[in-house]
Amino acid sequence: MDTLQKIPAHVAIIMDGNGRWALERGLPRLSGHKAGTENLREVIEACAEFGIKYLTIYAFSTENWNRPDEEIQGLMRIFRTMLDRELNNLHKNGVQLRHIGQLDGIDKKLQQKVQEAIKLTQGNQTLILNVAFNYGGRDEILQAVKKIVANGENIDDLDDELFSKYLFTAGSPDPDLIIRTSGEFRISNFLIWQGAYAEWYFTPTFWPDFNKEELYQALVAYNERDRRYGKVNQAKGK
């Protein structure tokens, strides 16, 4: 792999296509979700190797509660198993776990596991891993507004910087690059505020097959982008 000139500080991923990956192989949907969680280790390690400092993964949305109960319960079991299996390895490799979203409505034992993982890894700095679990972008904005009102903030003081401090992602920079796997072209209620100026990369690859090489190709595409933030590129005049 050639050396990349620009490395995004923050990459976010919509991990899509687990169910279709399983169906193509004649497997139940939960087998796809299991394969997707097992794929995480390689992607996390690759992010650290490339020098990415923040990784946000869309693990479970507020809309996912509308899926069949059997699938939801299976997903919860998979998440619990993944935490039990991967936590020590993540901690050893300097990964700091953060949760974005709401823990309300999630099984108490899983809530406890998440909180313990956050506490254990809070001093790690190699890679910050934001896990969007029971997360929705609209809900995040509504919760931020409620907190702003409850805290009695002066409306005249409200700006982008202050508002961002009330979001679930407070303390993390906005994503530079958002990747969506499986060939879908939707933002699906993910990082609506934070992704306003992110570069997007869509790949037809299903999430369980998204590996280090796939991530590298996304970073190559990112290097080819000209991020202007609404300004004019003086060199190109456009």
What contacts 152, CB < 8 A, 6 or more positions away?
none
Burial 118-141 (b: 16+ CB within 10 A, else e): eeebeebeebbbbbbbbbbbebbe
The CA–CA distances, whole Å, from 14 to 79, 91, 188 equal: 16, 23, 9
Contact criterion met (CB below 8 Å) for 114 and 103: yes
* Rounded Cα gap, residues 32 and 122, in angstroms: 30
Contact criterion met (CB below 8 Å) for 140 and 193: yes
Whose tokens are 């936590």? That residue is 87
Catalytic hit among 2, 18, 64, 156: 64
**Could you confirm whether 151 is annotated as catalytic?**
no
Catalytic hit among 2, 16, 93, 157: 16
**Could you confirm whether 64 is annotated as catalytic?**
yes
Contact criterion met (CB below 8 Å) for 25 and 105: no
Contact criterion met (CB below 8 Å) for 96 and 124: yes
SS3 of 129, please?
Answer: strand
* Rounded Cα gap, residues 231 and 238, in angstroms: 9
Q: Catalytic residue numbers?
A: 16, 64
